[in-house]
Chains A and B, each alone.
Chain A
């Protein structure tokens, strides 16, 4: 793998930043150079949250992802704001349980995933982000399955270790979607 620039965007509270952290940690376990840059400030409070994650085999220059290889859109404003920025041939994963609009570009791969629906049907309400992560992993293979799991474990503090299994299950559902 050379470079993979990922932009995750949605509402605050959907676990956008956490998803980015799992990806960054998994990339680090894989031996890649990684960076994780959140949006911060008032826009995080009830508004949109987004997160840039860069994975590379070289030192990372700008950690701000302007032209993503992968866009994960978990709400409509995020899809509308970032769709045009995705590189030709890139990947857009749309949480279709929240966004009914289709991707208008024809030069990218678009995946519509009923992530919230899948999560809720399996008793994993609130884990739509991990379902999407599982699917993104399947599409990009940005790290080994083992390192993805290590990344998850590293991202959850010891006090909350009980949450590892449900997240793991949600990632698995995404992989199998």
Chain B
């Protein structure tokens, strides 16, 4: 495949090809709708390029294979959908507690429980705040187009390596299943030469240990604190968001991923009818792009969080602007995708309220 060529690809297939281009040669996973195309694509491609594709007996097994491969220093990933992440929670915590980088893809579906298989964003809190037990964070990226599914993959691997921590692409069934034109990146060779990795060295150095068990509480506390110093650096340096018509906006819509696409259409409709609406689209969900919101708190009268959940991001928006403006919410959940008209109507309601 010529790399500069634009091709139509499903988000799920594009993310897999992007991971291969980024040098990932190890994939461990378990099928689940609406994510299965990632695993299916990897099962076809990996054997042809000297990589490893292995379907674990469960998500629990798969994430522990990711921990093992990551500990050995190779670029490794898994992908699943919402219930699968819940099953992986223990392993994700172990990975974070072992300072092992990896890429985890969540193509979200409706929940809780087995829920449904239609697109959802109801794993926001799980991804950004509670991916497992203990004090830790993951880098969380939220693509909104198939091209961005591709573009964020290499960066997620790189930042994961740089900070030695797990990174997640938080996608959803809509982005995973839809096709859009993409330009794939040039493939790169990855040298797996991480000096901390636990792998064979012919006795030439002291052996490395990858571990998350620390019986001595003082030792564990100091490790966790060191990790949180690293997180502070990430919060300072790695926030990313896209702003659309936000600079003069009275109403700032905040939305990521699939709901940001709907919101962009709604903002266009609002502008056409003379309402000064704008959009701030978080690209990183952790770190949350609070700087990109705080800068608009002066001129915006109201913020509107639009989500495919019951409003899991609302509190983060409130904190980002230090509750200086009202933060309204519009959302659909359970696998229902909001329409641009619904979001536009929410903007109009807020606008009317502002004029009274």
Contact = CB atoms under 8 A, between A and B. Distances in A.
Contacts of A2: none
B268 A40 contact: no
B8 interface: yes
B119 to A, nearest CB: 9
A24 B8 contact: yes
Contacts of A47: none
Interface string A54-79: 00000111111010000000000000
Interface in A139-163: 154
A66 B266 CA distance: 14
Interface in B190-239: none
B177 A37 contact: yes
A60 B177 CA distance: 16
A116 interface: no
B117 interface: yes
A78 B117 CA distance: 21
B181 A41 contact: no
Contacts of A61: 261-262, 264-266, 268, 340
Contacts of B86: none
B172 to A, nearest CB: 12
Nearest to A42: B117
A155 B266 CA distance: 32
B55 interface: no
Interface stretch (A8-16, A28-36, A102-110, A168-176): A28-36
Contacts of A42: 117
A38 interface: yes
Contacts of B181: 28, 33-34
- Determine the interface band of chain A, counting residues with CB < 8 A from chain B: 20 to 34
A93 B53 CA distance: 45
B43 interface: no
Interface string A85-108: 000000000000000000000000
Given A21-B179, A36-B179, A37-B178, A62 B262 contact: yes
A62 B337 contact: yes
B351 interface: no
Nearest to B145: A59
A62 B261 contact: yes
A148 to B, nearest CB: 15
B35 to A, nearest CB: 11
B190 to A, nearest CB: 29
B8 A21 contact: yes
Given A61-B261, A154-B8, A37 B340 contact: no
B118 interface: yes
A33 B182 CA distance: 11
Nearest to A66: B339
B288 to A, nearest CB: 23
Contacts of B64: none
B179 A41 contact: no
Contacts of B90: none
A35 B339 CA distance: 16
A63 B34 CA distance: 17
Interface string B303-345: 0000000000000000000000000000000000101110000
Interface of B: 6, 8, 33-34, 117-118, 173-174, 177-181, 261-262, 264-266, 268, 337, 339-341
30 contacts: A21-B8, A24-B179, A28-B6, A28-B181, A33-B181, A34-B180, A35-B178, A36-B8, A36-B178, A37-B174, A37-B177, A37-B178, A38-B178, A40-B33, A40-B117, A41-B34, A41-B117, A41-B118, A42-B117, A60-B180, A61-B261, A61-B265, A61-B268, A62-B337, A62-B340, A63-B261, A64-B174, A66-B339, A66-B340, A154-B8
Given A34-B8, A61-B266, 6 more contacts: A24-B179, A36-B178, A36-B180, A37-B177, A40-B33, A61-B264
* Pairs of residues from A and B, 6 with the lowest C-beta to C-beta distance, nearest first: A61-B265, A36-B179, A37-B178, A62-B262, A41-B117, A61-B264
